[in-house]
């Protein structure tokens, strides 16, 4: 957004310069017209003199005016050429700035689109995370119930001492193994006695 504002400011500056130069060009053209009016006034003045005086004064004035006019024309043509060149450069700069503005806006749109996609993916991941947590909580609850039943079944057997405090999984497994071994020994003993 900052880049777009900067480009728009540059465009406004360049367009302001272009308007100022066009205004100067119009002033030069107005000056040309004024000088043409002055030339007509001088011509009318000559008409009121005698033929000889008119011719002599006309020659002197014409030569002087010609020199002045040639000088003015050369200066004005030079200024006009410079201004035309500057107008052309400014128009080119404005075109470049407009192209940069379009590119920057497109880039900004692409970034916004990418941001939307990332936001959508993030929301989807949050939803999946929530689902996973709920599933994990259900599994943990089932596991704790199952473990509690195993502890209850293991330590309700005759001859197995009640646990002292919280049991680790290894301790529970050891207690189960012990109970199983004892039952197997007892079963084996009964079997042997029965066979005899």
| Percent of the chain whose pLDDT exceeds 90 | 22
- Asked if residue 11 has pLDDT above 80, the reply is yes
CB 57 within 8 A of CB 46: yes
Render pLDDT for 55-96 as a digit per residue (tens, 0 to 9): 777 788 778 877 888 888 888 888 888 888 888 888 898 889
Using the CB atoms, write b or e for 115-139: b if 16+ within 10 Å. eeeeeeeeeeeeeeeeeeeeeeeee
Residue 160: band (very low, low, confident or very high) from pLDDT cuts 50, 70, 90? low
> Domain residue spans in the chain?
7-111, 127-194
Render pLDDT for 94-148 as a digit per residue (tens, 0 to 9): 889 989 899 999 999 999 999 999 999 999 999 999 999 999 999 999 988 988 8
- Asked if residue 196 has pLDDT above 60, the reply is no
Higher pLDDT, residue 117 or 17: 117
3-state secondary structure string across the chain: CHHHHHHHHHHHHHHHHHHHHHHHHHHHHHHHHHHHHHHHHHHHHHHCCCHHHHHHHHHHHHHHHHHHHHHHHHHHHHHHHHHHHHHHHHHHHHHHHHHHHHHHHHHHHHHHHHHHHHHHHHHHHHHHHHHHHHHHHHHHHHHHHHHHHHHHHHHCCCCCCCCCCCCCHHHHHHHHHHHHHHHHHHHHHHHHHHHC
């Amino acid at each position: 957004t900052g880049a777009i504002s900067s480009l728009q400011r540059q465009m406004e500056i360049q367009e302001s310069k272009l308007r100022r130069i066009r205004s100067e060009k119009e002033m030069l053209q107005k000056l040309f017209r004024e000088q043409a009016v002055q030339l007509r006034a001088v011509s009318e003045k000559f008409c009121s003199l005698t033929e000889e005086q008119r011719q002599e004064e006309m020659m002197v004035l014409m030569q002087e005016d010609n020199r002045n006019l040639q000088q003015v024309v050369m200066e004005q043509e030079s200024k006009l050429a410079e201004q035309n060149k500057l107008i052309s450069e400014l128009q080119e700069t404005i075109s470049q700035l407009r192209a940069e503005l379009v590119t920057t806006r497109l880039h900004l749109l692409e970034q916004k689109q990418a941001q939307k996609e990332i936001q959508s993916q993030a929301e989807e991941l949050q939803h999946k995370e929530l689902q996973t947590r709920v599933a994990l909580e259900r599994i943990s609850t089932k596991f704790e119930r199952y473990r509690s039943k195993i502890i209850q079944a293991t330590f309700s057997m005759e001859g197995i001492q009640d646990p002292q405090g919280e049991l680790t999984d290894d301790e529970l497994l050891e207690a189960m193994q012990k109970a199983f071994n004892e039952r197997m020994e007892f079963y084996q003993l009964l079997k042997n006695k029965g066979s005899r």
